[in-house]
Amino acid sequence: METPYTLWSRDELRRPGSPPRYTGEQTKEIAFPLGGIGTGCVSLTGMGGLRDWEIFNRPNKGSVMPYTFAALWVRQGGHEPITRVVQGPAQPPYSGQGVSSYQGFGFGVERMNGSGLPPMRSVAFGGAFPIAEVVFSDPGLPVQVTLEAYSPFIPLNPDDSGLPIAVLNYRVHNQTDAPLEVALAFSLFNPLGYPGKGAFTGAHLGQNRNAYHDDGLVRGLAMSTGKVAPDDPAYGTMALMTTWTETFHQCCWLRGGWFDALHDFWDHFSREGSVPARELGPTDEGASDVGTLGLRAMIQPGEVVTLPILLAWHFPTFQKYWGGSAGCDGCGCERSRWRNYYASQWEDATEVAHYYAANQERLYGGTRAFAETLLESTLPDHVLDALSSQASILHSPTVLRLEDGTFYGFEGCHGDAGCCEGSCTHVWNYAQTVAYLFPSLERSLREADYFYNQRPDGHMAFRLQLPLGSPMWDFHAAADGQLGGILKVYRDWRLCGDDAWLRRLWPKVVKALEYAWEQWDPDRDGVITGVQHNTYDIEFVGPNTMIGSFYLGALRAAECMATHLGDTERAALYREVYERGRQATEELFNGEYYVQQCPDDPALKYQYGEGCLSDQLIGQWFAHLVGLGHILDPDHVRSAMQAIFHHNWRTDFWDHANPQRIYALNDEQGLLLCSWPRGNRPRFPFVYSDEVWCGIEYQVASHLIYEGFVDEGLAVVKGIRARHDGRRRNPWNEFECGSHYARSLASWSVLLALSGVEVDAPNLRVSFAPKLEADPFGCFWSSASGWGSYRQSGEGWAEIRVEQGNLTLGTLGLGRLRGDSARAVLDGVAVSAQIRPMDQGCEIGIEPEIVINAGQVLRVTLAS
């Protein structure tokens, strides 16, 4: 078996650490999303500027808003002032990009972001989602400048994590022994009326107005439009605010031809460290203004000041720009519209900025607590990187929140549109982050699925149509999505323990399983047959374990739920079918891995047959996630997982012939979707078979770890993240069929596997079973009621800390730890604890159960 050590040492795979800092060429592809859940975002570039204005209710890759950048002016005593755009230098190529008139390729470097003005000499881009930190270096400057950029992101608090705001804290450190006068000028174009994609200038502009606002808490420019009606999807407001009190502003840059406006701004600011006040009223038809907000400070020797910029937006009306509305072909008739959930929280962008400022301590504190709790883990750097970076999908335009707060996801993003609508059940099967960080949002996905997307016969339309209540999509059910949904209900109920919620969904779950029987297991022998549409956008035909393992997992999950709800008859039936299926499914094991039993029809395309499919045990992976253990022969499962790594993992792709889409190539590492180690590759195997998908890699990595192949799993994760090194691809954008692809939210399952965490809320039980030797081992945990950190040591102790929310605990499972007696202390007070030995480690019974509140730690000490 080819091991990861041919490429990386065990130490490189396992060493705890922090996510990478990016410098030089590695900053080129960086775009770090700033915005809330369901608000769209604007991205911080590797230079430290802003790009990809996806705040207008749709993706908008590559967009650069005119003249929107920060500049810093510094003067020391009698010296000449020095002025810099607070961005690193533009990087090659310098020819310009894209096809357009008088810009793009053949017209030179993009100038609208300030690239022609003196930049900082270099940048180092660090931090981890949700907080980015850009360190600027310039030998000519007497100050060191660092930008901390973030938007609130606090587990279990989706509303505060859904603020349409980007917070930019510029920290300026006086490195001289004399006081310095500094001014930070942040300029922003008023784009209101913008249709969401295409050029920022044009006929959509006019009657744009930038007005000065000061409510005592925040001050700056309030941007509005008089041209667009409030119910128009292009309507909205923006705000460029600060809580800093020493300010200056210019509502409107010079209105002139050619390059006059930027010329005038720079000449004034670089000379005087200020720009004269100018307010000209609404703009002419087709025109808009840039406005500048300036922050002034004297900085004493050695002192650091933090100059905060708040960039808020508010585009209340979402228009469904894809597909058709019911009875409409999208042309000449009204498209469906609804209000963004966030628009029900705040009236306009200025109110958003005010809310942020009023709650800054909580919002910043909660966000930083999450970031620090996650990073304090003893997990390897590349794993932490995978966890945190992919959580950024929640701040990307891949996700929406509908008017009632329901969470909705595309699969990913086209350049200027969502890519593949409808919270697609099979792609979102892989995603775990939302369930663990924002479980109420994940439950809203379940509710939407079962209440809006299931036909009376149980057929789940796997793409939810908007607005909610629209006619369902008329297509096959997706076998993986239909069956995965049952496992997801089980997971979400276990995390929250809300029986009422489960009871509401239960009849729908029963229907879903009955539909599966009708379609794919009419004889209820537990073996999947028939035509199975799935996440590869084709139909598998005949028994296979990709769908089959989902089926067995779903049967087991349904059995557990039925038992809990007292539906013993159904529980027994599900168990019976499962048992039959488990045995029959083993016939697909070829001695090394599980294959597909394909009908012998040469006209049948797009199967995998005797191939070694990376997803062949996805249902087993999910079963581990939800504590169902092995649903197939453990030895076979382990053999198959080894086979997947052995046959599908590539340490390079030089000799790999891939006529399909290219997500890994040349000298990169990655896991193929499939291979045919024993020959008999079909003439036309399933259509993505030669590709590499991050989401499947995370699924397999997590599962490898569950099965004990820790280094193999870590190698897969390291390979993914090495492909997203800032030069090859954006670390904060793992794409598949489009950017910010939801399948990568499977990365959270690597944390679950490495920590072995299980939250069984109905039974007040939480357990850990770390797979790494670090001592003490530390990790992040979360349930639907609270989150925090966990640590345990081979010296015989464990600590569970609640950072926010609370945790009601009756049993604490401690993998890898043993003892004869246990002492449990909650914030200095002993609690009653009984130790019970388990197969691996032990379990601490706490009776009566305790509630650990925010800031409290439960410490358990074992003695032999």
* Segment 84 to 113, residues that bind a second copy, using CB under 8 A: 89-90, 92-102, 104-111
300 interacts with a second copy by CB under 8 A:
no
Which tokens go with 434?
């939302």
Of 164, 165, 160, 135, which is closest to residue 148 (Cα–Cα)? 135
Q: What CA–CA distance (Å, rounded) separates 644 from 632? A: 16
- Considering only residues 269 to 288 of the shown chain, the ones binding a second copy according to CB under 8 A are 270
Q: Which stretch binds a second copy (CB under 8 A): 429-437, 457-465, 527-535, 724-732?
A: 724-732
Distances (CA, A) of 398 to 245, 422, 785: 37, 11, 26
With contacts defined by CB under 8 A, how many residues of the chain interact with a second copy? 79
**Closest CB to a second copy among residues 197, 511:** 197
d(CA 292, CA 264): 12
Interface with a second copy in residues 592-651 (CB under 8 A): 605-606
DSSP labels, 40-102 = -EEEEETTS-EEEEE-SSS--TT---TT-EEEEEEEETTSPPEEEESSPPP-S--S--SB-SS
Q: Which of 263, 248, 172, 174 is nearest to 214 (CA)?
A: 248
Contact region with a second copy (CB under 8 A), list: 444-452, 618-626, 684-692, 764-772 = 684-692
Residue closer to a second copy (CB basis): 139 or 848: 139
Residue 16 makes contact with a second copy by CB under 8 A: no
Of 384, 429, 441, 488, nearest to 742 by C-alpha is 429
* DSSP summary character for residue 735: -
Q: How far is the CB of 683 from a second copy (least distance, A)?
A: 8
Structure tokens at 604: 């049948």
Locate tokens 């005119």: which residue? 66
196 binds a second copy (CB under 8 A): no
What is the identity of the amino acid at 296?
R
Task: Determine the angle formed by the axes of helices 381-391 and 360-375, rounding to 10 degrees.
Answer: 150
260 binds a second copy (CB under 8 A): yes
**Which range in 299-307, 544-552, 703-711, 725-733 contacts a second copy by CB under 8 A?**
725-733
Question: Three-state SS for 673?
Answer: coil
Q: For residue 527, give the nearest of 593, 594, 577 by alpha carbon.
A: 577
Nearer to a second copy, 36 or 731 (CB): 731
**What x-and-dash track marks residues 121-160 binding a second copy by CB under 8 A?**
x------------------x--------------------
Task: Select from 260-268, 289-297, 442-450, 557-565 the region that touches a second copy (CB under 8 A).
Answer: 260-268
Q: Please, which of residues 17-46 interact with a second copy by CB under 8 A?
A: 28-29
Which one among 175, 601, 684, 847 touches a second copy, defined by CB under 8 A?
A: 684
Among the listed residues 179, 202, 230, 256, the single contact to a second copy using CB under 8 A: 256
CA angle 191, 194, 196 (to 5 degrees): 120
Q: Is 338 in the site for a second copy (CB under 8 A)?
A: no
Q: Would you put residue 202 in left (φ > 0), alpha (ψ -120 to 50) or beta?
A: left
119 near a second copy (CB under 8 A)? yes
Applying CB under 8 A, does 662 fall inside the site for a second copy? yes
- Closer to a second copy at the Cβ: 162 or 726? 726
Looking at the Cβ atoms of 199 and 326, the one nearer to a second copy is 199
Of 738 and 778, nearer to a second copy (C-beta) is: 738
Contact with a second copy (CB under 8 A): which of 364, 663, 732, 787?
663
Nearest approach, Cβ of residue 371 and a second copy (Å):
26
Asked whether position 728 contacts a second copy by CB under 8 A, the answer is yes
From 462, 557, 469, 447, select the one nearest 513 (Cα to Cα). 557
| x/- track of binding to a second copy for residues 456-495 (CB under 8 A) | ----------------------------------------
d(CA 43, CA 49): 8
C-alpha 393/C-alpha 734 separation (Å) is: 9
Q: Which is nearer to a second copy, 21 or 605 (CB)?
A: 605
When the beta carbons of 290 and 402 are compared against a second copy, the nearer one is 290
> Least distance (Å) from a second copy to the CB of residue 414?
6
Site for a second copy in 400-429 (CB under 8 A): 412-417, 419
Give me the amino acid identity at 140: G
